[in-house]
Structure 1
C-alpha cells in the first residue's frame, strides 16, 4: 500500500520535531525548535482554512504518512509569495569583462551581487524524508505531489516558482561559503546564523550585510568551488527539479552558497501535465503508474496508484489507491504520470 501525503495538522508537531533533529543543520525550513515549528503549523492551518482563491503570502505544510500505522515519515512545504514579511535575499553570480589595450588583455571577473530578484515568487521547500524511508519512491511522491497541489489551487500561487537546495556543509557542520563571505562580517558561525534565521527571519542580513559585490577571485579556493553546488544529499533532488523544468540561473543561497532553481509555474511538468477527472471505476488491475491526488486545502491527500484515463473526462483507479485516498465513484481526482 502506498504512503499518503496529506495536509499537516498541529498534532503533527512532535513528528516534525523528531525529523527536524535528523536534518544535520542547514535546513532553515525545518528547524529543531518546537516554538518555531508550532508557529509554522499554525500559519499552515490558517492557509488551509483560507478558502479565497487569491495570491497572498501563505505557507502550506504537507506530511507523508504511513496509512497503516499513522506514523509521519516525511514532510514538504509550499510558500505562495516569498519576500513579503522579510526581504528575500539571494546572491546572483554575474561576470564583468574588462579589456586593456596597452596589455592587449581581457579579464573576466565573476562577482556575487546581493539581490532580491526572486521576491514575489512561490517556493517549494522544506522537503525531508526520514532516513529509514529513503527508498520506494517516497521522495518522488513528496516532491511531485507539491506540484499537483499547485495545479489544484493554481490561483494561490505565483507565475514563477523557486526551490533552494542546501549547499555544501562539511563534517563539522560548517559552511565554507559562509566562513568566507557573510561570516566575516557577522561574527557568527554558520550554525548560529542558520538557526537564528530559521527562528527569527533574515532581516539581520539586511541590517549588516555589505551591499557591495563580492569578487569571487578574492575568496578561498574552498569557498569558490562550492558556489552553486548542492549538498551530496541534495543532488538527486536537483535532478528531479531539472526533470520538472527547473533551471539554475546563477542565484545562490546567502548562507551556504547552494543553488536556487527557478521555473515558470505553468511550465513545470507536473503542473502542466496534471489531469483532472471524475472517478468512474476503482477496481482496475493494470494501468499507467501515476501520482493521484484529491481534496482541496486541508482535505488534500495524494498517493501512488494506477490509472486509466478515458476520452470523456473519467479516470479508473486501483482499489488500493481508492482506499488510501478515501474516494468513491463520482469524486474528482487529479493525476500525473509517474
Structure 2
C-alpha cells in the first residue's frame, strides 16, 4: 500500500470525526465533536492560505492518506504559538527543601505549581493513527513528517517546541490525577472537564483552579504514582520524542498529569538533520530509506521512499516521485528513516 502525508481539506471532516470516536478520551486535540473539528479545519485552511511568513497563532492539520483507496487513516497537528488566545497552563514539578536545626532534620517536599512557562512555544500534537494501520512505521511517518513541515516553514514556528502526552486513564475512563486535584474544585468528572476543554478552551481553569502550589504528599497514592507517566498507548510516542531530542523537564498536564516533553526547535533531530536538494533523477530504487517531502503550505506532501544524495542533488525512487508529484529539478526535503 502507498501512503502520503498531506494538508487536511474540508472534505476530511467525516474521517476525522470517525477517528475521534476511537480515541477513548483524554485526547483534547481530537474531540468527537463535529463543530469543534470543523473549526479546526477552518482554522487550518486559513493558516495554509496565509502567504506571509511571520510567526502568528496558527494551526496546521495534516492527514495520512492511503493513495490506493483515498481513505484518511491518521492525522496530526502543529500549533505555531500556544497561549495566545488564553493562557497555556501546565503544572511544574518542583522540590521545596526545609531544614529544622532543633530537630536536626531536613524535609524535602514535592510541589505542583501552576505555570504558564511554556507560553509562546510551538506544539506538535493531535497525532492519531487508525488502529488497523498501526504497523509498518506509519506512526513514525505521521510524527516525523511534522518536523519536515516545520523545516520547510521554519519562520512560522517558535524557538521552543512541546508535545503533551496523554496521561494515565483508568478502566472507567477517568483520571486518578484529575480526581485528586482538579476534580475537587470543579465538581466535574474528568470526562466532562476534558470534553469542555476540547470544545471551549481552558479559560475555566484560570477562573477556578487554585493558584497555590499543591503538595503531592497530600494526594492519594493512585494520583501520586501517575504524575508524569504517559498512557500505555503513548509510551512509543514518548520514545520517539526522546529520539528526536525532546526531554521531560517536570511539566505535566493539568487534567491527567501526563508528561509534557520539550525541546529547542533547531535541536530537534529531524529539523536539524533535514536536507533540501533538487531532484536529479527518479531511479533510486535501492537507496537509503528516508522520509521525503516537498511543497509549501497546502501543497506539502511527505512519504517514505529511497534516496541517494549526490554532489548535484538527490536521487529518489520512482514511486516516491509519483506520490510527491515531483520532477527533475524540484526541491525535496529528506531525512534518513
Give the TM-score normalised by structure 2: 0.99
Instruction: For residue 205 of structure 1, report the CA deviation from its aligned partner.
Output: 0.1
Is this contact kept in 2: 1:57–1:79, CA < 8 A? yes
Rounded Cα–Cα distance in structure 2 between residues aligned with 1:67 and 1:155: 30
Q: Which residue of 1 aligns with 2:94?
A: 94
Rounded Cα–Cα distance in structure 2 between residues aligned with 1:16 and 1:85: 24
Q: Which residue of 2 aligns with 1:301?
A: 301
Q: Which residue of 2 aligns with 1:206?
A: 206
Q: Which residue of 2 aligns with 1:222?
A: 222
Instruction: For residue 2 of structure 1, report the CA deviation from its aligned partner.
Output: 3.4
Rounded Cα–Cα distance in structure 1 between residues aligned with 2:256 and 2:282: 47
Rounded Cα–Cα distance in structure 2 between residues aligned with 1:68 and 1:325: 14
Is this contact kept in 1: 2:93–2:111, CA < 8 A? yes
Q: Which residue of 2 aligns with 1:242?
A: 242
- Render the CA deviation track for 1:283-323: whole Å, top value 9, x for unaligned: 122111000000000000100000000123x1000011111
- Render the CA deviation track for 1:24-45: whole Å, top value 9, x for unaligned: 0000000000000000000000
- Render the CA deviation track for 1:104-148: whole Å, top value 9, x for unaligned: 110000000000000000000000000000000000000000000
Rounded Cα–Cα distance in structure 1 between residues aligned with 2:306 and 2:280: 13
Rounded Cα–Cα distance in structure 2 between residues aligned with 1:309 and 1:152: 18
Instruction: For residue 196 of structure 1, report the CA deviation from its aligned partner.
Output: 0.2
Is this contact kept in 2: 1:2–1:305, CA < 8 A? no
Rounded Cα–Cα distance in structure 2 between residues aligned with 1:179 and 1:103: 35
Moved over 4 A (4+): none
Rounded Cα–Cα distance in structure 2 between residues aligned with 1:7 and 1:272: 23
Q: Which residue of 2 aligns with 1:319?
A: 318
Aligned-partner SS, 2:327: coil
Q: Which residue of 1 aligns with 2:262?
A: 262
- Render the CA deviation track for 1:8-37: whole Å, top value 9, x for unaligned: 011100000000000000000000000000
Which runs of structure 2 are paired with 1:1-338 in the superposition (5 Å)?
A: 1-312=1-312, 314-338=313-337
Q: Return 286-295 or 1-10, whichever deviates more.
A: 1-10
Is this contact kept in 2: 1:2–1:321, CA < 8 A? no
Rounded Cα–Cα distance in structure 2 between residues aligned with 1:41 and 1:286: 38
Rounded Cα–Cα distance in structure 2 between residues aligned with 1:284 and 1:122: 35
5+ residue gaps in structure 2?
none
- Render the CA deviation track for 1:233-260: whole Å, top value 9, x for unaligned: 0000000000000000000000000000
Is this contact kept in 1: 2:99–2:107, CA < 8 A? yes
5+ residue gaps in structure 1?
none
- Render the CA deviation track for 1:134-177: whole Å, top value 9, x for unaligned: 00000000000000000000000000000000000011100000
Give the TM-score normalised by structure 1: 0.99
Rounded Cα–Cα distance in structure 2 between residues aligned with 1:266 and 1:212: 35
Aligned-partner SS, 2:328: coil
Instruction: Report the aligned-residue RMSD.
Output: 0.5
Rounded Cα–Cα distance in structure 1 between residues aligned with 2:239 and 2:183: 30
Is this contact kept in 1: 2:76–2:126, CA < 8 A? yes
Aligned-partner SS, 1:255: coil
Q: How many equivalent residue pairs?
A: 337
Is this contact kept in 2: 1:3–1:64, CA < 8 A? yes
Rounded Cα–Cα distance in structure 2 between residues aligned with 1:12 and 1:279: 31
Instruction: For residue 53 of structure 1, report the CA deviation from its aligned partner.
Output: 0.8
